């Protein structure tokens, strides 16, 4: 399966400076691509990688997975889409899933083996 073209660099880079992470984020990219294929719905990326400055600006936690591009915020405003997206994320190894009113935050925390599911509506 060729997973190279599911998301563009534009979708990954930091919204404030256009920067990309210095670490390898292949696993994240592949898992997100697989989740998107499984969900069979559009993944509109609000935010993926954030540099430290941008993360501070949006009041992200200091240990935010966005700092390594191991988290994305996927726009989502209706329950059916939300259910499809969250289910496919769990199936593909995402273990930090926070449901917000207009988006789903989805991350892979390799230091944590427990699934964290939360809601901030
Ligand atoms: Zn930035
Ligand atoms: Zn997020």
Per-residue pLDDT, 6: 87
pLDDT per residue as tens digits for the range 3-59? 677 899 999 999 999 999 999 999 999 999 999 999 999 999 999 999 999 999 999
- Distance (angstroms) between ligand 1 centre and the Cα of 110 equals 23
- Distance (angstroms) between ligand 2 centre and the Cα of 5 equals 22
Confidence of residue 2 (pLDDT cuts 50, 70, 90): low
pLDDT per residue as tens digits for the range 68-91? 999 999 999 999 999 999 999 999
- Of the ligands numbered here, which is closest to the C-alpha atom of 15? 1
Give me the architecture of the 11-120 domain, per CATH.
2-Layer Sandwich (3.30)
Structure tokens at 38: 């499984």
- Distance (angstroms) between ligand 1 centre and the Cα of 95 equals 25
- Distance (angstroms) between ligand 1 centre and the Cα of 99 equals 24
Domain locations in the chain? Answer: 11-120
CA distances (Å), 103 to each of 1, 16, 44, 77, in order? 28, 19, 9, 7
Strands 116-120, 96-100: pairing is parallel
Return the residue matching tokens 């273990």: 95
Alpha helices in 23-120 (DSSP H): 26-39, 52-57, 79-91
Longest dimension (CA), the chain: 38
Per-residue pLDDT, 74: 98
Return the residue matching tokens 């994320």: 89
């Amino acid at each position: 399966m060729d997973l190279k073209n599911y998301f563009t660099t534009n979708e990954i880079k930091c919204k404030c400076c256009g920067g990309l992470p210095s670490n390898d984020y292949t696993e994240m990219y592949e898992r997100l691509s697989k989740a998107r294929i499984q969900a069979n719905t559009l993944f509109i990326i609000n935010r993926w990688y954030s540099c430290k400055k941008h993360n501070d600006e949006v009041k992200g936690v200091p240990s935010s997975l966005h700092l390594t591009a191991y988290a994305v915020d996927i726009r989502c405003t209706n329950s059916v889409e939300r259910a499809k997206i969250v289910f496919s994320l769990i199936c593909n190894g995402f273990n930090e899933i926070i449901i917000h009113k207009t988006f789903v935050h989805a991350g892979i925390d390799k230091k944590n083996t427990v699934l964290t599911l939360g809601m901030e509506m």
